[in-house]
Amino acid sequence: MSHNNNNNNNHLSVSTKHVKKKAKQDASEQQSNQYRHSYRQMNTTTTTLEPRRDLPLHKIPELLAKITGTLSSTLSSSSSSDTKQSSSSTSSSSNANSNSIDRRLQLFKHYSDDEQIMSVDGILRLCNDLSIEPDCYEVLLFCFACRAKQMYSLTKDEFLLGLKTLGNHIDNLLDLRTSLFNYDILPYENEFYIWTYHYGLIDGQRCVTTQNAISLWRLFYSKGIKKPQLLEQWLNYLEQDIHNEIPKTITCDTWTIFPQFAKFIELNGYKAYDDNEAWPCLFDGFVEHQLEQQKAISSTSID
């Protein structure tokens, strides 16, 4: 970020409010005070049993023996039945899980090259059978569910993790497609966003190329997640490179802070932006460009 200290008179007045370094949602903490639950008091009534007056005393041992024998037989029978039912239920559940795992493995083998890696060719065939485009949002979502470490390449463990993440019942293409189109990603939005950047790194790169970053930004915000109001302006600025100053790569810092930057501009406007704060320098140029655009539009409307 370049600042010309010798031309302070030409600078816009610095905002008195400092730009917050963290997103508001990360700065706010939930209060730990919790109210104790009030429990309903249950009124119990006691019943006094009166001894029978018509039963001879010498008959009591015989009666107790019959009652004890009957109860013992009943409990034994009930316990045996419950054990059999539990054993049968456990066996059925175990068999169902085993069959589901086998179907998942067969699904992976069908699209893998050597039963260990699903390469780009296998992923393309999988997309074709799912009736989705290889560069669509659903593919990005599935690779995130798999926690894939390399673009357009899935290991067996990653693929199985992806199916399990989307739902324990998923072991076929129909269920997989249905889950991808209905999966609620919002609880994992931040993790998904950071993962997307690292997913875009190719061949040991330390930074994502600007062109790939543009594509990933568009793809990430294409469904499910609220799109920043300035997204298209930002991406157009990167693509057009009017001032020939756009870098060839986008740093992880720039990518990570972008949602916070977009939220700040949405709430405060471009004029509230202070380039003396610790924003990535690429944002400085973008804000300056937008202010120039607004000034030009204002001048044109006056004329």
| pLDDT tens for each residue of 222-276 | 998 999 999 999 999 999 987 788 999 999 999 999 999 999 999 999 999 999 9
- CB atoms closer than 10 angstroms to residue 235: 16
What is the rounded average pLDDT of the residues 160-189?
94
pLDDT in tens, 100-126: 788 999 999 999 988 889 999 999 999
| Confidence at residue 39, expressed as pLDDT on a 0 to 100 scale | 24
More confident residue, 149 or 1: 149
pLDDT in tens, 293-302: 888 887 766 5
More confident residue, 98 or 154: 154
| Confidence at residue 102, expressed as pLDDT on a 0 to 100 scale | 87
Characterize the bridge pairing of strands 249-250 and 208-209.
antiparallel
Q: 252-268 and 189-199 helices cross at what angle (nearest 10)?
A: 140
Percent residues over pLDDT 70 in the chain: 67
Q: Angle at Cα 143 formed by Cα 140 and Cα 145, nearest 5°?
A: 110
Which of 26-40, 77-91, 194-208, 275-289 has the weakest average pLDDT? 26-40
What is the rounded average pLDDT of the residues 24-33?
31
**3-class DSSP state of 209:** strand
| Confidence at residue 139, expressed as pLDDT on a 0 to 100 scale | 97
Hey, which residues does 154 pair with through a beta bridge?
118
What is the rounded average pLDDT of the residues 161-176?
94
| Confidence at residue 45, expressed as pLDDT on a 0 to 100 scale | 38
| Confidence at residue 10, expressed as pLDDT on a 0 to 100 scale | 43
| Confidence at residue 192, expressed as pLDDT on a 0 to 100 scale | 98
- CB atoms closer than 10 angstroms to residue 135: 10
pLDDT above 70 for 180: yes
pLDDT above 60 for 33: no
Domains defined along the chain, listed by start: 95-183 (1.10.238.10), 206-302 (1.10.238.200)
- CB atoms closer than 10 angstroms to residue 192: 19
Whole-model pTM: value is 0.68
